[in-house]
Chain A
Amino acid sequence: GAVVSQHPSWVICKSGTSVKIECRSLDFQATTMFWYRQFPKQSLMLMATSNEGSKATYEQGVEKDKFLINHASLTLSTLTVTSAHPEDSSFYICSARDQVETEYFGPGTRLTVT
């Protein structure tokens, strides 16, 4: 199947700083990518839909000014967690949809805010 990568795989940052997470589709072009977060022992929760060349669409309750999404190319979307706080500590997962509408997920990024 298609491959989606994320970088970094884990990151520790101090409270108040910003963290950028990259999501890349390695062998296909993705006009649409998605960002999820997952807390321990819980299911994935959709945060936002990232469309190449346009603004992201955020799910209800997700702060767009805190979670900045940029989808600058057909193979790259980035999520920036601004002014991170300990409650933002979570597992962030991206996905990319290929031309036949199958969604492939990245390996995830574990964010710990101290």
Chain B
Amino acid sequence: DAKTTQPPSMDCAEGRAANLPCNHSTISGNEYVYWYRQIHSQGPQYIIHGLKNNETNEMASLIITEDRKSSTLILPHATLRDTAVYYCIVRLYNFNKFYFGSGTKLNVKP
């Protein structure tokens, strides 16, 4: 079962930062937080993952709270192509499977 809670949908203006929250209050100490997104009728695309430190790559930034009970994915300058369903998943490294929750449908508007 999914161990995360995300808002079902969010809107964002093109060019602005998109901040997608995720609650994972039952996360254990050795579970990672992964973010994927799924554009309509395609397979999910890996975005970023982290354990406790904030992470940044060419696509996004991941901010994890100090108690690790929640995180935020930040797309710094959203474009129309970022419209997708974003999934936040927690998983033990080198062990467990992915169980997808409902995700957040991000609508980027011109």
Contacts and interface: CB of A to CB of B under 8 A. Distances in A.
Interface of A: 1, 4, 6, 34, 36, 43-46, 49, 91, 93, 95, 101-108, 110
Interface string B84-110: 000100000110011111110000000
A1 B46 contact: yes
29 contacts: A1-B46, A4-B43, A34-B97, A34-B98, A36-B100, A43-B87, A44-B38, A44-B44, A44-B100, A45-B100, A46-B97, A46-B99, A46-B100, A49-B97, A93-B44, A95-B43, A101-B94, A103-B46, A103-B98, A104-B46, A105-B44, A105-B46, A106-B43, A107-B42, A107-B43, A108-B41, A108-B42, A108-B43, A110-B41
Interface of B: 34, 36, 38, 41-46, 49, 87, 93-94, 97-103
Nearest to A93: B43
> What secondary structure prevails in chain A residues at the interface with B?
strand
A91 B41 CA distance: 8
Contacts of B43: 4, 6, 93, 95, 105-108
A43 B44 contact: no
Contacts of B49: 102
A46 B98 contact: yes
User: What 6 A-B pairs come out closest when comparing CB atoms?
Assistant: A105-B43, A44-B100, A43-B100, A105-B44, A108-B43, A107-B43
B95 to A, nearest CB: 9
B101 A43 contact: yes
Contacts of B87: 43
A108 B49 CA distance: 22
Contacts of B36: 105
A102 B101 CA distance: 18
A43 B42 contact: no
A28 B107 CA distance: 33
A110 B40 CA distance: 13
A43 B97 contact: no
Pick the most buried of B42, B43, B102: most chain A CB atoms within 10 A of its CB.
B43
Contacts of B103: 43
